[in-house]
């Protein structure tokens, strides 16, 4: 398929469904396990602190490998990496469902992380190839909606499944999504555009990338959860040494795994920074809100789920609007800045909640937050993707996913630190203040993009 087509034919819709089904599969598996952790801890007779590795192993592998797989997509083709990822994910899902020990389950989840890293590293690059340039905003809007729906529905779906079936079915639900993605994408997903530049995969850089991001995440998690201080110090020293050597190596390469070449493009680097800050702000609010609703307001799990729903619902409604405004040539920096401004207002309104709020007072504030976030995400993702040359779409896609993973990790870690050092009465407000700081930083970075034109939109 030619990315310069001015029309969008039915076959392209099916190709998009293939990418979105895989994206839904990966995002669901990042959120669905949280609800199941107590069940798994009881099933395998392990402590809660050990059971959490079912989640951590999956997320850690994705962060460590995403940029490497994005580079492989640039070299060998996004299709190959995408289908490899889906195949691994489907097989590992079966292994997870059939696990007879906790060790087998964690190893299977690591394999799932491999598969998810493959698909998530190139999904945006494939969307860029599927959609004609003037419609790329719609593709990003649909992608944002699928992510929001999947992330929001994961805990609810897990609770529903566990209410009438065993935990094994949490993994078996991946099979229809994976097979659908394979069936639709096999003939319909596009190949990479021709590229005269011959590249080789730098294995040393791939190892440095995995160690750098792995140590970064593990050190942050260790600080948040009060791990052994000596171990944290050793990890930090290793992070500084390995990270420095890794970055220096990347600076010497024409097409590095860590896209320092793309980060030299002001529009790209500002957008990545804005994305990182926005995901940090989002997680600060989304992780702390359920604790506030349960521990302070004494709502039950069903009520909390319903009160959280307006956020992703508003994102779903707002994302198409932002894509339409993009098509009308409204600058993405302005749209993103307004979006994060609205998001900041929503957070501030949550901060001002009365001591004993009515449910409707929470609902409309959540809706404002979701509106702002939906208005921001689509133009920001479009800018990240299209500000890179098309031959580096994989690098841009991988960097976008890495920014999301790092932002979410940082946000969740900050919540853990705040909960550790602040009393229960002030934890929620402190989290919201931090979220506002990051959201305003994201707004500023977005607005700074306005003087820069997008030279690689075609």
Q: What is the pLDDT along the chain (458 residues), one digit of tens a residue?
A: 444 444 555 567 788 888 889 888 888 887 777 667 778 888 888 876 677 788 778 888 998 999 999 889 888 888 999 999 999 999 999 999 999 999 999 999 999 999 999 998 888 888 888 887 777 777 777 877 787 777 767 767 777 788 788 888 989 989 999 999 999 888 888 887 766 667 788 889 999 999 999 998 888 878 777 778 888 899 999 999 999 999 999 988 877 888 888 888 889 999 999 999 999 998 888 878 877 887 788 887 677 777 878 888 888 888 888 888 887 878 888 999 999 999 999 999 999 988 888 888 999 999 999 999 889 988 888 888 888 887 787 888 888 888 888 888 888 888 888 887 887 778 888 999 999 999 999 999 999 988 776 554 43
The separation between CA 421 and the C-alpha centre of its own chain, rounded to angstroms, equals: 28
What is the predicted pLDDT for the residue at 2? 43
Half-sphere exposure of 87 (CA within 13 A, CB side): 8
Helices 136-164 and 301-308: crossing angle, nearest 10°? Answer: 170
The pair of structure tokens assigned to 226 is 């009060």
Rounded (10°) CA dihedral 113, 117, 123, 124: 130
Residue closest to 23 by CA, chosen among 70, 76, 73, 85: 85
- The residue count for the chain: 458
The pair of structure tokens assigned to 262 is 């793309």
CA distance 174 to 253: 38
Question: What are the counts of helices (DSSP H) followed by strands (DSSP E) for the chain?
Answer: 18, 0
* Cβ pair 67, 402 in contact under 8 A: yes
CA distance 135 to 378: 12
* Cβ pair 119, 86 in contact under 8 A: yes
CA distance 445 to 33: 34
CA-based max dimension of the chain: 64
What is the predicted pLDDT for the residue at 301? 64
CA distance 239 to 233: 10
3-class SS at 299?
coil
Integer CA distances (angstroms), 53 to 105, 107, 187, 211, 279, in order: 10, 10, 37, 18, 22
What is the predicted pLDDT for the residue at 369? 93
CA distance 247 to 238: 14
CA distance 64 to 307: 34
CA distance 144 to 384: 14
Provide the terminal-to-terminal Cα distance of the chain, rounded to the nearest Å: 14
CA distance 291 to 205: 40
What is the predicted pLDDT for the residue at 377? 85
What is the predicted pLDDT for the residue at 456? 44
* Cβ pair 410, 437 in contact under 8 A: no
* Cβ pair 28, 175 in contact under 8 A: no
The pair of structure tokens assigned to 357 is 């709020």
What is the predicted pLDDT for the residue at 48? 65
């Amino acid at each position: 398929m030619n990315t310069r087509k001015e029309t969008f034919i039915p076959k392209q819709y099916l190709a998009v469904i293939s990418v979105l089904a895989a994206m839904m599969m990966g995002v669901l598996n990042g959120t669905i396990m949280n609800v199941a952790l107590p069940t798994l801890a009881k099933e395998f007779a392990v402590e809660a602190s050990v059971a959490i590795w079912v989640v951590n192993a999956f997320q850690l592998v994705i962060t460590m490998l995403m940029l490497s797989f994005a580079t492989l997509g640039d070299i060998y083709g996004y299709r190959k990496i995408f289908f490899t990822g889906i195949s691994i994910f489907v097989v590992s899902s079966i292994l997870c469902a059939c696990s007879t020990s906790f060790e087998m389950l964690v190893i299977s989840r690591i394999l799932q992380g491999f598969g998810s890293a493959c698909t998530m590293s190139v999904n945006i690059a494939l969307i860029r190839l599927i959609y004609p340039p003037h419609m790329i905003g719609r593709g990003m809007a649909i992608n944002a909606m699928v992510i929001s729906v999947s992330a929001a529905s994961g805990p609810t779906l897990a609770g529903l499944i566990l209410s009438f079936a065993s935990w094994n079915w949490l993994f078996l639900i991946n099979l229809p999504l994976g097979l659908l993605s394979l069936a639709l994408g096999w003939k319909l997903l596009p190949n990479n555009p021709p590229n005269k530049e011959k590249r080789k995969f730098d294995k040393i850089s791939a190892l440095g990338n995995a160690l750098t991001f792995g140590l970064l995440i593990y050190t942050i998690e260790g600080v948040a959860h009060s791990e052994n201080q000596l171990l944290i110090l050793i990890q930090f020293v290793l992070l500084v040494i390995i990270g420095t050597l890794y970055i220096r190596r990347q600076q010497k390469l024409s097409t590095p795994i860590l896209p320092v070449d793309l980060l030299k493009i002001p529009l790209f680097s500002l957008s990545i920074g804005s994305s990182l800050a926005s995901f940090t702000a989002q997680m600060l609010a989304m992780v702390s809100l359920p604790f506030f609703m349960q521990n302070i307001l004494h709502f039950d799990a069903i009520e909390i789920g319903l009160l959280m729903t307006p956020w992703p619902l508003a994102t779903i409604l707002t994302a198409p609007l932002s894509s339409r405004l993009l098509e009308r040539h409204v600058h993405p920096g302005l749209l993103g800045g307004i979006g994060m401004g609205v998001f900041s207002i929503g957070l501030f309104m949550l901060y001002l909640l009365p001591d004993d709020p009515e449910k409707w007072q929470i609902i409309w504030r959540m809706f404002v937050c979701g509106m702002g976030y939906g208005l921001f995400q689509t133009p920001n993702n479009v800018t990240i993707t299209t500000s890179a040359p098309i031959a580096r779409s994989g690098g841009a896609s991988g960097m976008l996913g890495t920014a999301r993973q790092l932002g979410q990790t940082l946000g969740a870690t900050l919540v853990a630190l705040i909960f550790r050092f602040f009393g229960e009465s002030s934890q929620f407000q402190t989290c919201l203040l931090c979220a506002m700081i990051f959201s305003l930083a994201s707004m500023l970075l977005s607005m700074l993009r306005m003087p820069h034109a997008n030279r690689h939109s075609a």
